[in-house]
Each structure stands twice: as C-alpha cells, then as structure tokens.
Chains A and B, each alone.
Chain A
Amino acid sequence: MSTITADEIRAIETRHPQIFQRPAYKRFWPVLLIAGTVLYLGYALWFFSLPQVLRESHWERLPLFLSQWISYDLQPEFRLDQPEITPKYPRFSALGEHPNPDWVIKNPDGTYTVQIDGDAKSVTFDKTRAAITANGVTVPIVLTGGKSVITGTVPDWVTVHDDEIVAKLGFVGEVRVTVDRVKVRKRFLGWANFVFDTRSPFFGKPYSEVISLIVSGPELKPGTSNLALAADNFWNNAQWQHGDVWTKLLQTIVMAFLGTLLGGIVAFPLAFFAARNITPSGVLSQVLKRFFDFMRSVDMLIWALFFTRAFGPGPLAGSAAIFFTEIGTLGKTYSEALENIDDKPREGVLSTGANEILVQRYGVLPEVVPVFISQTLYQWESNTRGATIIGAVGAGGIGLKLWEAMRTNSNWANVFYMVLLTLLVVFIFDNISNFLRRRLSRTLHDYNRLQAERG
C-alpha cells in the first residue's frame, strides 16, 4: 500500500462526512470525562485541605508503629545521684518483678555496661563519665561539672540537648544520658510474655520445664491441677487478654451469623409477596419493595447506634443491626431472584391442579433455593467483615476492642495480634463460604447439564 495524497484524503472525507465530521461531544467525551475527573480531584484536594494535612502529618511514625507491631522494648533506668547505682525498671515491665537480664553487666571496676546490640552497640558508665559505643565509634561523655558534655567530635546519630545527650541506635534502641541518670531503651523482636504474664508461676520458665510441670510436677497452687492453672493463667494473661480477645472475636462471628440467618428467615417469606410474578397483589409488592429499600438505606450504622442505645452495647445490638439491614438486602436479592426464574416448571405444577402453596413448594423452591443459599452465604461473608467495623461504635465484638487498643497509640502489638486473629477468621469464613457456594454452583451446573442432555 503506497502513501495516500492530500487530494485523496479530501475526496474520502467528502464521501464519508458522517465519519469525519462527528459531533464534538462524541469526539471529545473522553477528554471531557478526564477533565471532569481532574476538576473533581482538585476540588477534593481543596475540600479535604490535603496539602496542609500532608504537611502536618508525621510519616516518621509509620515505621515506628509498624515495628511496634512485632516487637517490644525494655527501659532500664540508672540513677547516678544515689549512693549506689542500681538499675530500675518501670512497673509492669516485661521482665517481671525481679529483673536480672544478662545484658546489664556490673563490671569488676564498679562501672555498668548495658549491651544494646552485643558489645557493638552498648553504653558503659559510672558516676563521673559514660561512653556510648555504636557504628564502630566510641563517644566519651563527661558527667562532672553539672552538665553532660561530649569530649571530641559528635557523630550524626547523637543529638546534644541542653541537659541531655540522646543517641539513637536504630531499631535496637536508644540511650539518653543526663548528669544524674542514664536511660536505656532496648528493643526485642517478638511478643513479650505472650503465653504467661509476669504474675504467673510459670513465667520465665522454659517450655520444657512448663510441660514437665504440667505433666508431673507438684501442684504450684494447692487444690488446682497445674494444667488448669496454666490454662487459667493463659486465658487471663493480663497483657494479652487472650480470653477477652477470643470472646470478643466469637461475638463478632456470632453477630454476622445470627444477623444474616435471621435476616434470611424473615426475608424468605416476604420475598414471595414482593416478587412481581408470584405476589397476589401488585400493591403489596410495591409496599414490600419500598420496605426493603428502607431497611437497606437506613444503614447498618444507624441501626447499630439505635440498638446500642436500646439494648446497651454488646453483640445483641450488633446482631440486631445486621438483622435489620439484612432483611432489606436479602429481601431485595431474593425477590429479584424469584422474578428471574423460569416460569415453565411453575406452570407445569400449576397445570396439575395444585394449590398456590404447593405450586411454590414444587414449582419454584427447587429452582431458587440454591440461589438463595448462595446469596445468603455471600452476605454472611461480607457481614463477617462488616461486623468488625460496626463493633467500633459499641455494637459489640472485636471492633471496639481494636479501636480502643489503637486509641492509646501504645499497644500496637496487641492490635496486631487481634488483626491476625481477625484476618484468620475472615480467611476461614471466606473459604467456607466459597467452598459451599462452589458446591452449590456445581450442583446447579450439573442440574443444568443434565437438563440440557435430556433435551
């Protein structure tokens, strides 16, 4: 194909004006659409004052929070103005009442060494001087003269304030030195005291010892078997609150289950009266359909808030909220499924002279029940996720607990624990529901295939 000349182009254009002179709105609608979207985004940027929000945000907190999800820290403090230097730990520290960690070393010459990352990152001090070692450098600090002073150059990981010297040592921790005290923060990967808290008699014992105690040890608490004691200590672990978390999780599951099931039970008969092709009265159908829309549009949040006020916070309120929303959603989907059924089986049963109820039972039910079950499972699955959120407004379940744990910004490891459990539950229930729905659709598929083969 050789090139085409300008005259030929003109000739073609005059022959086909409908192709080359299309109305502007048809040619430019993608451009208009994009321009509209950009305009809206600009408006949203202004509406949410995004530049300002981003300017004032603290992104440096993100890695800190995320690292707190999977780690914990210990913060020993050494008073230098006392007659003798002794490490002090905060109350409720992860080490229990009698901490004696092997990374706090009292040297023979009277100085203390705290290993933050072995000897490579450590601090050694007595009442007059301190030395912070990290990144291959040792920074000497003089503490006499009423001020903490660094002799020599200051590396960039050390910040000198008026009365305090702060050395940030990365993930593993930090050291703060003032004239009268040395504060160390040492960070450990993992979750502290996940099984037994510091008050438990099993605390700090290696697993083998715990197991041998449970199997054949003497009763630690007279009158209670060690197994029961261990289970009780685990369940009531003060820091992780396993018992409470799991109960709340169960509440979330129950809310979704109960709400969806009850919604389905109520929506089922109503859907028959709402389906245009089955209902005895068109007015009734319209009324019911508007009722379904109403229940859906009032929104789960409003129902949750109302029922929380009516029944008090807890899973009952949550179940009721899901129940009311689900009447609307399931009623709507059920009646639409009924309106889409094939009329032939129904007519067949009708032709035998069966009464109205029997017609529904044998002509309609076999067709729609698998569809109904599938849609109910789908809603159940999505309500399991939804129940987590409405819990946060007081409707019971893990949501509130999660929200409260996050509000303090300190207990991120607990948050992560609950998130993991929630993910696990969502994952399991997704798979159960998927499995059941696939089974159902296979049954449907087989049924259709058999029908087709029979002609």
Chain B
Amino acid sequence: MTSATLHSDATRQQADAWRRQTSLRRFYTALGVGLLLVAMFATMWFADEANAGHFFDRLPHILDFLSWLVPKDWNDVWRALFDIASPSDKGTQEFNFPLGRVYIWGGFYIPEYFELMLTTVNVALVSTFIGFVFAVPFSFIAARNLTPSPTLRLVIKRFMELLRAFPEIVIAGLFAAIVSIGPVAAIIAIGLHSIGALGKLFYEINENIDMRPEEGLRAVGANWFERVRFADLPQVLPNFMSYTLLRIEINVRISTIMGAVGGGGIGEELKLAISRGFGAKTLALVLLLFITIFVVDQFSAWLRRKLVGEQAFLMSA
C-alpha cells in the first residue's frame, strides 16, 4: 500500500477494517496464549503439590540421585549385559550377573537381558499380529462404503471404540488373574487394544478408497469377499502395513511398560534395578532397551518409507 492511495476514503475504510480484524485476531491469540499459560502454571503447581517429593526440594539432589548410576567399574556394564562374572561380586544381587544365563545347548547361553528383551519384543509382535488379523476384517465391515450390513457395522465400530479406549492395564490385570501373571496376559491386553486402535485407522483408510474398481468387480458378478479381496485390499494394503509397523513401534513401548507392572520381560527387571539402585544393571538395561527401540523404529521407518513413501510420516491432520 503506497502512501498516495491512503488519501482515498474507501481505501482508508478498508485499511481500518483490516486493522480492526487484525487487532481482534491478535486479541484472541493473546487470550488463548494467556489462558494456556495460566493453565500451565496452575497444573504445574498442582502436580508439584500432589507429588511425594517437591520440585525445588529435590532439584539440588538430582545429581546425588544420578551418582549411584555411575558404576565403580565401567566394565560392569558390559558384564551385566552379557552375563559375565564380575570381580565386584560379593554375593549380593547387584553383581550376580552369570546367575541369569539361559542355557540353550551345552555351554552356549543367551544372556538374561537379551532373553528378557526378546520376550518384550515377542509380546509386541504377537499382539500386533492379533490386532492386525482381527482389525482387517473388522475394518471392512466397519467402513461405510463397504459394509455388508449397517447394523453389523455399528456394532463392530462401537466394539472397536471400546477396545481402543479401555485401559490396557485393566485388561492385563483381569487376565493376570485368569491366565496367571506374565507375558500371556500382556499379549491379550495389548492385542485387544491393538484391534481397536488398528481397526479405527484401517476403516478410516477404507472409507477413503477409490470405489471404481469395486464397481467394476460388482459388474463382473463378484461377491462381497471377492470384491474386498481384489478391489479393496490391493488399494489399502500398503497403508495397512505402514500403520501396522507404526503399531509395532508403539507396542514395543507398551509391552515394556506392561513388563514393569508384572507382564514379564525387560520392564520388570528395569524397574527392580532402578528401585534398588543397581547402577551397572540399570545402565546395561537402558542401553539394551534404547538400542532395541532405536533399531525397531529405524527399521520400521525404512520399511514404511518403502511401502508408501513420505506420506508415511504425515500424521493425520
């Protein structure tokens, strides 16, 4: 806008309107940010009040807390990881590394932590598989454009919503009382949750497919199963796989947490090591968990990029 045009009345009115609109928007933005800040400080205060130890009381001791993590002998971290006897072993649980060895054949053993990590990863894989196997057929029934029956669609949709929102920990607790506490209860809990979570994503993908191939096959005289198999599945499968890989990443994390509350696997050991202050064991476990999650994430990201390209990384906006 040049200064010459400002002299015209119409232009000035327009400029005023623009300024008013901008200041109004700025006001709303400021109000929103202000409210958010108030909420932030209020919740900070609340969280601090409700906590066993308070932030500013504990802050000076943060480094004290970290000091136990530093092992006397850094080699103990490797020994803990690979179950090799440590010279620091005085018969306590802190350095009893070789005890956990899982012998496979003769003198060949899997170190305890690797076995536990394997359990955690297997829990994640099996539960994702359960989720996938049920979510795929459910998603075709729950998609508005493909459903064979509107009533069935509603039932399945509500069922999946319930599974998704139901706290995993309650399902795990319930099944811990039935199949005994351990990885199987964790599999059931995470598996049921995965059905709901994947099913929702899947049927949303299904509702966005191109219906022309479906119509083409309908005109061929294909029944519902054949149409789903040949017209719909090829369109959605890459996206399904991509979301399933993402689910594996999430499930590895959840299964670690489940382990910490009794679901078996590495989580339980990590919780024990931290709560007892076993520095070397904690570092070994954190290292193993970190590497595993990192590898799973990177591998899954690589595979997803191959499957659906960069689109895999755009979250649903």
- Selected from B40, B53, B271, the residue in CB contact (under 8 A) with A312 is B53
**B residues near A50, Cβ cutoff 8 Å:** 184
Q: How far is the CB of A337 from chain B (nearest CB, A)?
A: 8
Interchain CB contact under 8 A, B170 and A62 = no
Q: Do residues B168 and A389 form an inter-chain contact, with CB atoms below 8 A? A: yes
CB neighbours (8 Å) of B182 from chain A are: 53
Contact with B along A38-63 (1 / 0, CB 8 A): 00110010011010011011110110
A371-B317, A396-B50 known; A48 vs B122 contact (CB < 8 Å) = yes
Q: How far is the CB of B238 from chain A (nearest CB, A)?
A: 15
Q: Tell yes or no: B174 within 8 A of A by CB.
A: yes
Q: Pick the residue among B55, B167, B179, B290 that contacts A402 (CB under 8 A).
A: B167
Give bound CA distance, A309 to B119, whole Å.
26
Q: Which of A163-171, A299-307, A351-359 contacts B (4 or more CB under 8 A)?
A: A299-307
Q: How far is the CB of A123 from chain B (nearest CB, A)?
A: 30
- B275→A309 contact, CB < 8 A: yes
Is residue A313 within 8 Å, beta carbon to beta carbon, of the partner chain? yes
| In-complex Cβ contact of A44 among B39, B61, B126, B290 (8 A) | B126
Contact A393 B293 (CB under 8 A): no
Also in contact, A310 and B62, with CB within 8 A (given A59-B178, A299-B289, A393-B261):
yes
**Which residues from 45 to 100 on chain A have a C-beta closer than 8 Å to any C-beta of chain B?**
47-48, 50, 53-54, 56-59, 61-62, 65
Given A301-B253, A426-B165, does the pair A53, B47 have CB atoms closer than 8 Å? no
B44 & A419 in contact (Cβ 8 Å cutoff) = no
Q: Which residues of B contact A336 (CB under 8 A)?
A: 313
Binary contact readout A162-203 vs B (1 if CB under 8 angstroms, 0 otherwise): 000000000000000000000000000000000000000000
User: In the complex, are the beta carbons of A258 and B44 less than 8 A apart?
Assistant: yes
A302 touches B286 (CB 8 A): yes
Contact of B184 among A53, A258, A441 (CB under 8 A): A53
Inter-chain contact B58/A314, CB cutoff 8 Å? no
The tally of residues in B whose CB lies under 8 Å from a CB in A reads: 66
Given A301-B260, A316-B55, A402 and B173 contact (CB-CB distance below 8 Å): yes
The reply to whether B290 and A297 contact each other, CB–CB distance below 8 Å, is yes
Q: By the criterion CB–CB under 8 Å, are B270 and A301 in contact?
A: yes
B103: shortest Cβ distance to chain A, in Å? 16
Contact of B261 among A47, A333, A403 (CB under 8 A): A403
Q: Contact at B53–A311, with CB atoms within 8 Å?
A: yes
B274 at the interface (CB under 8 A from A): yes
Question: Are A254 and B47 within 8 A (Cβ)?
Answer: yes
Shortest Cβ distance from A58 into B: residue: B178
B315 within 8 Å of A by Cβ?
A: yes
Q: Given A57, A312, A378, A415, which contacts B180 in the complex, CB threshold below 8 Å?
A: A57
A247 at the interface (CB under 8 A from B): yes
- Which of B40, B52, B270 meets A314, CB within 8 Å? B52
> With the chains together, A317 CA to B51 CA distance in Å?
8
B39 engages A257 (CB within 8 Å): yes
CB nearest to B177 among chain A residues: A409
Choose one: B47, B61, B256, B271; the contact of A258 (CB below 8 Å): B47
Contact A297 B294 (CB under 8 A): yes
Main secondary structure of the interface of A (DSSP, over half): helix
A311 CA to B260 CA, complexed, in Å? 19
Chain B, 279-297, CB within 8 A of any chain A CB: 286, 289-290, 293-294, 297
Judge if B314 is at the interface, Cβ distance under 8 Å. yes
A275 on interface, CB distance cutoff 8 Å: no
- A residues near B108, Cβ cutoff 8 Å: none
Task: Pick from A315, A340, A370 the residue with the most CB of B within 10 Å.
Answer: A315
In this assembly, does A143 line the interface, its C-beta being within 8 Å of a C-beta of chain B?
A: no
B313 and A314: CB pair below 8 A?
Answer: no
Q: Is B36 an interface residue (CB 8 A)?
A: yes
Q: Are B166 and A423 in contact (CB under 8 A)?
A: yes
Taking the complex as formed, is A385 at the interface, i.e. its CB lies under 8 A from any CB of chain B? yes
Residue A427, interface by CB 8 Å: yes
Q: How far is the CA of A154 from the CA of B78 in the complex (A)?
A: 67
A residues less than 8 Å from B54 (CB atoms):
311, 316
The reply on B316 being an interface residue by CB < 8 A is yes
With both chains docked as a complex, state the minimum distance between the C-beta of B308 and any C-beta of chain A, in angstroms: 15
Report Cα–Cα, A390/B168, bound state, in Å. Answer: 11
Interchain CA distance A48-B265 in the complex, whole Å: 11
B46 interfacial contact with A, CB 8 Å: yes
| Min CB gap A122→B, angstroms | 32
- B187 CB–A CB distance under 8 Å: yes
User: What chain A residues lie within 8 Å of B169 (beta carbons)?
Assistant: 388-389, 392, 399, 402-403
Provide the A335-352 mask, 1 if CB < 8 A to any CB of B, else 0: 010001000000000000
When A336-B313, A403-B169 are in contact, do A301 and B257 touch as well, CB less than 8 Å?
A: yes
Q: In residues 295-315 of chain B, which contact A (Cβ within 8 Å)?
A: 297, 310, 313-315
A48 contacts B53, CB within 8 Å? Answer: no
Contact status A48-B187, CB under 8 Å: yes
CA of A374 to CA of B52 in the docked complex: distance in angstroms? 34
3 interchain residue pairs of minimum CB distance: A314-B51, A312-B52, A312-B53
A to B CB contacts below 8 Å, 11 in the list: A41-B126, A48-B122, A254-B47, A306-B274, A309-B275, A311-B55, A312-B52, A312-B53, A315-B46, A385-B165, A392-B169
Q: Mark B residues whose CB is within 8 Å of A.
A: 36, 39-40, 43-44, 46-48, 50-55, 58, 61-62, 65, 118-119, 122, 125-126, 129, 162, 165-170, 173-174, 176-180, 182-184, 187, 253-254, 256-258, 260-261, 267, 270-271, 274-275, 286, 289-290, 293-294, 297, 310, 313-317
Sample of 8 more A-B contacts, CB < 8 Å, known A305-B274, A371-B317, A389-B258: A40-B125, A261-B36, A296-B297, A297-B297, A310-B61, A393-B260, A406-B177, A415-B170
